[in-house]
Structure 1
Amino acid sequence: MNEELHSSANSAGTTSADEATEPCKSVLQKQGAYGKVPIHKHSKFGQLARISEVYALAKFVAKGQVADNMQNQIPYKDDDIKFCDDILGKVSRSFAAVIRQLPEGLCVEILVFYLVLRGLDTIEDDMEAFVGREKFKLDHLRNFYKTPFSQEGWSMDGVGQGDEKVLLQNFFKVVRVFKGLSLESQEIISDITQRMGEGMALFAGRNLTQGTHDIKDYNLYCHYVAGLVGEGLSRLFSSSSFESPEVTQSAKTLGNTMGLFLQKTNITRDYLEDLRDGRTFYPQEIWKRYSKTGDLSEFAESKYQENALQCLNHMVTDALGCVPECLKYMELLKNKQVFRFCAIPQVMAIATLADLYNNPKVFTGVVKIRKGLAVKLLNETQSEEALHKQFNHFARQILSSIPQGDQNSSKTKEICENIISLTNLKANLYGNSTEVQLLLSGTPIAIALAANWIGVFYASLLMVAFVLFIRMASLI
């Protein structure tokens, strides 16, 4: 890097605090290998063919669907909280929406928790700033829970790119909001940050060009970078009295699994990004079963596509193993806003896994789910019945996609059928989505008008075809 790595208690390198709030447009908006590999999006025709998703997109554009409770917070006029809210939307559009809809008394706590861990994650993810000075990176990871919080005006420059860099340059603002939280919230955030930093340092000091060692090692990494988040969130939910003590009691078990499910989905999707970044997490215990050359990078070559897909399907199947415990955790949540906060990332994850399964594009870029599908999931996931409907649907989609001869077919089939069994009852209670019901309610009028032109018999056939079409659209 041309810029010098700089950590200061008084300044942000050569950039003033005010200047740093505006990201430089010439740099990448995300760090690591993001932007260096192709993004595989679905075609516009594929999107337009799904009526329910198009409806969800139009509805979302017109008036949005997620409440923003951040501005209702008593201290929102504070410039530091405004900065935190603004940078949240820049470093994570997806999590910004679900954080902002949380109730007062929890919204700011989760906002700060996310930004603190995002700052830590930015240090871990930067593979250029510490070249030749790896020890400094490990020191920063291990001490991030205390150094920025004990030194007045602490900031860091030269680490991260785009908005993540801006976050670290202005981290003292996050610290000031942190110090306004309850002592219990501060203790929880500090504890999780310390343990996560220690775990990240363990893996950051290793050669991960060929992935983690085995599944146990893989699970341990996912625990440090995501399972601990699930634990910390569970403790914050209970300490704020929005959820029962039972949620905290499950923090290190079910809460941990919630995080593992999201992280395993990301790692499975980000094969090529991580490979280009020189640090991968596919466990050798899995990928070496399908390797011809003993090198993880071979899966990016088209001649090894069949083996690559076998490996990918194994990774997806491993991630799906988290679902039963995730569903158990979701049953514990009683607050509607907390439920949505947890549920939306979960349904996005299983939708992503369904898109990744047996998909060769994973090895040539980053696979993204349709925007319309993402918005539809965001809109609809407001109850346990809706959550179960989505898990049920995507488990069926994966089940129907299992290729003949896949080495993990029996295991994948077993897990999918278990998910379907666990979710069938509540999924059926949810029924059709609201927009599909609206479309169906207009069908008799349209058919009656059509009968005047084409006759009752053909109009009846048209009605049956239309109902079947709408029914299929609601399942896509």
Structure 2
Amino acid sequence: MAFLDWALHPTELWAAFWYVMRHAPPDEKTNKLQVSGDMRRCYDFLEMTSRSFAAVIQELNPRLRDGICIFYLVLRGLDTVEDDMTIPGAKKRQILETFHEALYVKGWTFKESGPDEKDAMLLVEFDVVINEFLRLPEDYQEVIADITKRMGAGMAKYTRARVETLDDYNEYCHYVAGLVGHGLSRLFAESRLEDKTVGEKLELANSMGLFLQKTNITRDINEDVLDGRCFWPKAIWTKYAESEEELISKRGRERGIEALNEMCVNALEHIPDVMEYLNQIHEPSVFKFCAIPQAMAIATISLCYNNSNVLDGNVKIRKGEALKLISQSTTIDSVKRIFYRYLVQLEKKNDPSNPFYEQVHKIVDKAKKDIANTLPGGAPVDFSKEFALIALFFVSVCFFFYSYLAN
């Protein structure tokens, strides 16, 4: 199956080849950064907690690289506390609400994570993160501490509150992802690599985070329900099911797909802000850092739409597809073409019998027109069918020669 996937998607195989050629193993990459001591250990943690983010962070301009590495690790530590279901509620809230204060306490660590927390070691050695945080410029420290404080307070709130209304949903996603967009935008501006207005247009930054978070929440419904939690807003899922468990059950499949499609529509509404935000980013490494997750998100939400497999388990885009998106997300025009491509795919899945057909058609049609109107040459040409035919011919020839040689 893996061979067939690569054969049917030759451009992904090419992207994977160049990715391997251009990206060194983790240890070699860290050596090239010329860091040592605690900062080297921080980059080790970056690799351990997120290989995908590690790659783009390590390619950032040196004026931002260490600061964003530390920002990521601080929020990963905070997120590890929030996700740990073994920590009693009152204690968890206290840790979340005061986590920002620990950033200024040398030697602070946390060793009470549950046995199943995969990122527990980061908290066990959190003192190394604190040491490097305190070496950052003061303006970077202020941004990181402020976002950590606000995020921790929001996370603490939702240890008791449920995501009931659409306003709750937007607020929760703001706390856990929109604020990340705020912090990153402020760091970009503080670095002087981007214009100061990037750090001021925080509604656009918030939408960047919400598009990513809503895509993940939509995709992860099966895993979350089985873990005893649900981040889909009650205002949506109660229209289709009596309980969260019924959402993912076989008996309620048709209604579950309708709920899934409404969640996808909610995420797709952020596309105009995403495009506007990316259009204001000019430094190449910062652009790639911002664009790659958004490209992954549009590919994922397109995959999820009207896809019953989402209710059965965690669906993901192909690894080769992800590597191709990484290689292509280099300029605003290339990202617009990526979005256009997946909007076309989504449009093809939009069945007129679907209750959300008109909403999806309206969102997709407007986004496609906006992209086509700003691209040199207009709307991109879809070569996917031609590539599929070439791939099929290639596979046929390979099997012919293999059979011939075997005889």
Same-fold status (TM-score > 0.5) = yes
Q: How does 1:2-401 map to 2 (within 5 A)?
A: 44-64=3-23, 71=31, 73=33, 76-77=35-36, 79-128=37-86, 130=87, 133-146=88-101, 148-159=102-113, 161=116, 163-206=118-161, 208=162, 212-251=163-202, 253-291=203-241, 294-401=242-349
Query: Residue 65 of structure 1: CA displacement?
Result: 9.2
| Structure 1 unaligned regions, length at least 5 | 1-41, 437-464
Task: Return closer, same or farther for 1:97/1:468 CA change in 2, 3 Å cut-off.
Answer: closer
Task: Return closer, same or farther for 1:307/1:173 CA change in 2, 3 Å cut-off.
Answer: same
Q: CA–CA distance in 1 between the matches of 2:207 and 2:24?
A: 28
Matched, 1:406 2:357: no
Letter in 2 for 1:225: V
Query: Residue 43 of structure 1: CA displacement?
Result: 5.7
Query: Residue 418 of structure 1: CA displacement?
Result: 1.4
Q: CA–CA distance in 2 between the matches of 1:165 and 1:388?
A: 38
Deviation per CA, 1:205-232: give whole Å up to 9, x if none. 23x4xxx111110000000000000000
2:403 aligned partner: none
Deviation per CA, 1:362-400: give whole Å up to 9, x if none. 111100100110000001110011100011011111111
Work out which structure has the larger RCO, using CA pairs closer than 8 Å and 6 or more positions apart in sequence.
1
Q: CA–CA distance in 2 between the matches of 1:72 and 1:430?
A: 41
Letter in 2 for 1:156: F
Task: Return closer, same or farther for 1:184/1:310 CA change in 2, 3 Å cut-off.
Answer: same
Task: Return closer, same or farther for 1:163/1:386 CA change in 2, 3 Å cut-off.
Answer: same
Q: CA–CA distance in 1 between the matches of 2:289 and 2:136?
A: 20
Q: CA–CA distance in 1 between the matches of 2:25 and 2:64?
A: 16
Q: CA–CA distance in 2 between the matches of 1:364 and 1:229?
A: 30
Q: 1:84 aligns to what SS in structure 2?
A: helix
| Structure 2 unaligned regions, length at least 5 | 394-407
Q: CA–CA distance in 2 between the matches of 1:262 and 1:107?
A: 21
**For the Cα contact (< 8 Å) 1:227–1:256, is it kept in 2?**
yes
Task: Return closer, same or farther for 1:468/1:223 CA change in 2, 3 Å cut-off.
Answer: closer
**For the Cα contact (< 8 Å) 1:217–1:283, is it kept in 2?**
yes
Q: Which TM-score applies when normalising by structure 2?
A: 0.90
1:419 aligned partner: 367
Task: Return closer, same or farther for 1:360/1:467 CA change in 2, 3 Å cut-off.
Answer: closer
Letter in 2 for 1:90: M
Letter in 2 for 1:55: W
Q: CA–CA distance in 2 between the matches of 1:387 and 1:325?
A: 14
Q: CA–CA distance in 2 between the matches of 1:62 and 1:382?
A: 18
Q: CA–CA distance in 2 between the matches of 1:179 and 1:429?
A: 49
Task: Return closer, same or farther for 1:54/1:427 CA change in 2, 3 Å cut-off.
Answer: farther
2:399 aligned partner: none
Q: 1:157 aligns to what SS in structure 2?
A: coil
Query: Residue 471 of structure 1: CA displacement?
Result: 11
Q: CA–CA distance in 1 between the matches of 2:200 and 2:377?
A: 30
Q: 1:123 aligns to what SS in structure 2?
A: helix
Q: CA–CA distance in 1 between the matches of 2:391 and 2:281?
A: 31
Query: Residue 234 of structure 1: CA displacement?
Result: 0.3
Task: Return closer, same or farther for 1:202/1:342 CA change in 2, 3 Å cut-off.
Answer: same
Bigger Rg over Cα: 1
Letter in 2 for 1:259: G
**For the Cα contact (< 8 Å) 1:69–1:107, is it kept in 2?**
no
Query: Residue 152 of structure 1: CA displacement?
Result: 2.6
Q: CA–CA distance in 2 between the matches of 1:278 and 1:223?
A: 22
Larger helix fraction of residues: 2
**For the Cα contact (< 8 Å) 1:384–1:426, is it kept in 2?**
no
**For the Cα contact (< 8 Å) 1:90–1:163, is it kept in 2?**
no
Letter in 2 for 1:272: N
Q: Which TM-score applies when normalising by structure 1?
A: 0.77
**For the Cα contact (< 8 Å) 2:99–2:148, is it kept in 1?**
yes
Task: Return closer, same or farther for 1:65/1:305 CA change in 2, 3 Å cut-off.
Answer: farther
Q: How does 1:421-440 map to 2 (within 5 A)?
A: 421-426=369-374, 429=377
Letter in 1 for 2:10: I
Task: Return closer, same or farther for 1:425/1:286 CA change in 2, 3 Å cut-off.
Answer: same
Identity %: 37
Task: Return closer, same or farther for 1:85/1:371 CA change in 2, 3 Å cut-off.
Answer: same
